């Protein structure tokens, strides 16, 4: 039997109150109480949101309570002082957030040359969603041909900040948890937040984990396309593939940069 209720109760003890947890998750108090008592179980999408909120994985929250408590302690989730320190720095940065960041709400395809498969272009799916005063996002990648069932799947969780007319995206890979990436974007106001370009810094997804920097391009998905339809398009593409946007190659071309630094544009 899953120790989910006990593990949820443990996580809640590291917050000021049950009411605060319910508010932050967008739940009413009685609904959360049913999950804590074990009389009801959160559906899969809500459970993912709860796990992301507390910084744990879905498989971990079902573990025996004693093992889960050890994981929480190891990660420092139970340290009130650590939580307060992290919160101070987070709030200090996010206080500069430009409200225009919420114009990104929705889904985008992201394109850039693969760091682990030279000669191929990655098409990832990025979904931005507001939570309170912040804009969080998920980035989904498939290291394999689009539509292939034999491919590596990667999910990144992050937060977006806009300051100085630039958008900063910081995320981490939720599987192995060893990769952190940063993307800095120019919003293209002429296109009403439909297109953005900039630079991504990360590591290759192969065994070498080589640090890399590439130009990247984000384009809003078609409003009539379904989530599953968009997901089927995620994967690796040859540069001459007909489904890629017109003019994409020039926007993600990494060759013109330099000679003294890597620029977000070639001019």
Calpha distance 220→33 (Å, rounded): 38
pLDDT at position 57, please?
86
Instruction: Determine the structural domain holding residue 28 and report its residue range.
Output: 4-94
Are the C-beta atoms of residues 216 and 235 closer than 8 Å to each other? no
pLDDT at position 8, please?
93
Same domain membership, residue 125 and residue 24: no
Same domain membership, residue 168 and residue 78: no
Domain finish residue from 61, 94, 127 = 94
Nearest CA to 134 out of 104, 108, 109 is that of 104
Same domain membership, residue 240 and residue 122: yes
Same domain membership, residue 143 and residue 84: no
Calpha distance 245→203 (Å, rounded): 25
pLDDT at position 77, please?
63
Work out the number of other CB atoms within 10 angstroms of the CB of residue 108: 23
- Burial label for 258, CB within 10 Å (0-12, 13-18, 19+), is exposed
Q: Phi, psi (5° rounding) for residue 49?
A: -65, -40
Q: Which residues contact 216 (CB under 8 A, 6 or more apart)?
A: 110, 111, 112, 183, 185, 197, 198, 199, 200, 252
Domain count, the chain: 2
Are the C-beta atoms of residues 215 and 209 closer than 8 Å to each other? no
pLDDT at position 81, please?
58
Same domain membership, residue 110 and residue 52: no
Q: What is the mean pLDDT of each run of 10 residues along the chain (267 residues)?
A: 88 85 89 92 91 86 90 68 69 88 96 92 96 91 74 88 94 83 86 88 81 94 92 95 94 87 72
pLDDT at position 6, please?
93
DSSP state of 221: P
Residue 78 lies in a domain: yes
10 token code pair? 């443990």
The enclosing domain of 56 has a CATH number of: 1.10.260.40
Same domain membership, residue 111 and residue 78: no
Same domain membership, residue 86 and residue 48: yes
């Amino acid at each position: 039997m899953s120790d989910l209720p006990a593990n949820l109760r443990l996580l809640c003890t590291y917050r000021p109150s049950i009411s605060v947890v319910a508010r932050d998750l967008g739940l009413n108090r009685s609904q959360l109480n049913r999950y804590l008592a074990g009389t009801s179980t959160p559906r899969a999408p809500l459970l993912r949101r709860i796990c992301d909120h507390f910084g744990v994985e879905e498989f971990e929250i079902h573990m025996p309570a004693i093992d889960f408590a050890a994981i929480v302690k190891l990660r420092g989730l139970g340290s009130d002082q650590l939580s307060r320190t992290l919160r101070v720095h987070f709030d200090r940065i996010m206080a500069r957030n430009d409200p225009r960041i919420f114009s990104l709400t929705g889904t985008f395809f992201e394109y850039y040359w693969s760091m682990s498969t030279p000669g191929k272009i990655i098409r990832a799916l990025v979904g931005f969603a507001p939570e309170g005063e912040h804009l969080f996002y998920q980035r989904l990648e498939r290291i394999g041909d689009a539509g292939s069932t034999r491919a590596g799947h990667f999910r990144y969780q992050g937060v977006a900040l806009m300051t100085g007319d630039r958008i900063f995206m910081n995320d981490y890979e939720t599987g192995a948890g060893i990769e952190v990436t940063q993307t800095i974007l120019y919003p293209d106001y002429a296109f009403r937040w439909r297109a953005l370009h900039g630079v991504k810094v990360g590591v290759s997804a192969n065994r070498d984990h080589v640090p890399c920097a590439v130009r990247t391009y984000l384009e809003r998905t078609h409003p009539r396309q379904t989530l599953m339809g968009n997901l089927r398009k995620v994967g690796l593409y040859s540069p001459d593939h007909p489904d890629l946007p017109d003019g994409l190659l020039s926007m993600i071309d990494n060759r013109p940069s330099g000679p003294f630094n890597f620029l977000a544009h070639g001019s």
